[in-house]
């Protein structure tokens, strides 16, 4: 890579990082505004986190389905769990500690795993272990 190409690459990388940081800051501020009663910010929070949330849930549902613990459409199950996750989030947002712009993603990851486990226990097939 030439020196010119290298500079262009670094410049593009910096723009992406700045855009990502700006998006994180917007999300951080939207969560704080929602906590303070601005219900219009729910859309920003949801739109900013839905792809991440769906990706985690889809991967988990697919894993359980491959193990035989779940049957059904992976996308539909992930969407059902995602809906429950956001209902919980918006109902409990007053208790959410928005410590930094990444807090929401940490929370989503933990709650998604917990919601997925609960879903499997309530709706999944029991994995039978046969004795020899």
Distance CA 97, CA 106 (A): 11
Angle of the 3-35 helix axis to the 103-123 helix axis, nearest 10: 70
User: How does pLDDT run across 39-97, given as a tens digit for each residue?
Assistant: 999 999 999 999 999 999 999 999 999 988 888 899 999 999 999 999 998 988 888 88
Torsional sign, CA 94, 97, 101, 102: negative
Distance CA 12, CA 40 (A): 33
Q: What global pTM score does this model have?
A: 0.74
């Amino acid at each position: 890579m030439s020196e010119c190409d290298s500079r262009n690459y670094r410049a593009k990388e910096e723009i992406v990082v700045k855009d990502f940081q700006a998006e994180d800051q917007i999300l951080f501020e939207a969560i704080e505004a929602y906590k303070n009663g601005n219900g219009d910010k729910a859309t920003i929070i949801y739109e900013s986190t839905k792809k991440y949330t769906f990706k985690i849930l889809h991967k988990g549902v697919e894993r359980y389905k491959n193990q035989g613990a779940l049957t059904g459409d992976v996308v539909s199950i992930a969407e059902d769990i995602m809906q429950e996750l956001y209902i919980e989030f918006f109902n409990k947002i007053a208790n959410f500690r928005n410590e930094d712009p990444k807090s929401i993603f940490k929370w989503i990851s933990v709650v998604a795993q917990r919601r997925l486990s609960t879903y499997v226990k309530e709706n999944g097939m029991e994995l039978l272990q046969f004795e020899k």
